[in-house]
Amino acid sequence: MSVPPRYRAQLPDRPPTPFDLTERAEFERLIDESLPRVQDSAEKWRNGLAAFITLVTTGFVIKGRDVVGDVPVGWRIAITTLVALGLASSVIGLWQALAAQAGGRSLTLTLADVHERYGSVRALRVAAARNAGARLDIARAAVAAGLLCLLAGVGLTWWAPAPEAAGPPTAYLKVEHGSTATCGVLRSADGGMLRLAVAGAHSTAVIPMAQVSNMSVVAACG
């Protein structure tokens, strides 16, 4: 049976220089400050995202119907979908930034648990900083995706076809002649005759002007 080799600790070739000691001290200081720095950055992102989401949501609630109310249905669905995706991505980014700033879910750990899982309290702090940094990266990616969706939605509102211009309102002419009255759209008035297009009639109604006792323009034929 083979015996595993035994390893002995070896001294370094040279003692640490002042530069090595300074670098080690700076690295330890960087480790100690990593978590507060990430949390401070996450707090700024959280505040900015909260203000951004409030501004965008308020703008679309107030102006959204006026912006997309007259565009075709297909374009309206595309714009609404992009805006909804943009807001959802922004909310996800806000949630991740909040989790990074607050430290994620709370854990109840004893010192023995810390030593068992991480080896030291400093290693626990480094792991917390890495987790917060990963959440902050997710928040930034979600915000970037949300901004792209919102910009695409705004761009579609610019390129959506304009609504067709409505024609002038139809005016109806009510003509009283003899003991009756005829109402319709005036087609012509020449040769001593009035010609009206009456709803439900195949041919135009022809009324001699000599029989007309009164004429009036009405909004609709009752």
The residues, any chain, with a CB within 8 Å of residue 76's CB and separated by 6 or more, are: 68
User: Tokens at residue 141, please?
Assistant: 């990616």
pLDDT score at 209 = 87
The residue extents of the domains of the chain are 18-159, 172-218
The verdict on pTM exceeding 0.75 is no
Q: What pLDDT score was predicted for residue 157?
A: 77
Digitized pLDDT (tens) for each residue of the chain, 222 residues in all: 555 666 676 767 777 777 666 766 666 676 666 667 777 777 777 777 777 777 776 666 556 555 566 677 788 888 888 888 888 888 888 888 887 777 655 556 666 766 777 677 777 777 777 887 788 888 888 888 888 888 888 788 777 776 665 556 677 888 888 888 889 888 888 888 888 888 888 888 888 888 888 888 888 887
pLDDT given for residue 21 in this prediction: 66
Backbone phi, psi, residue 214, to 5°: -165, 150
Strands ordered across the beta sheet of 172-177: 205-208, 193-197, 180-190, 172-177, 212-218
One DSSP character per residue, 132-181 reads HHHHHHHHHHHHHHHHHHHHHHHHHHHHSPPPPPPPPPPPEEEEEETTEE
Residue 194's Cα: distance from chain center in Å?
A: 59
Instruction: Determine the Cα–Cα distance for residues 184 and 197; give it in Å rounded to an integer.
Output: 5
pLDDT value of position 27: 67
Task: Answer for the pair 211, 194: CB distance below 8 angstroms, yes or no.
Answer: no
pLDDT at 136: 82
201 backbone dihedrals φ, ψ, rounded to 5°: -105, 135
Q: What is the pLDDT of residue 180?
A: 87
pLDDT value at residue 120: 73
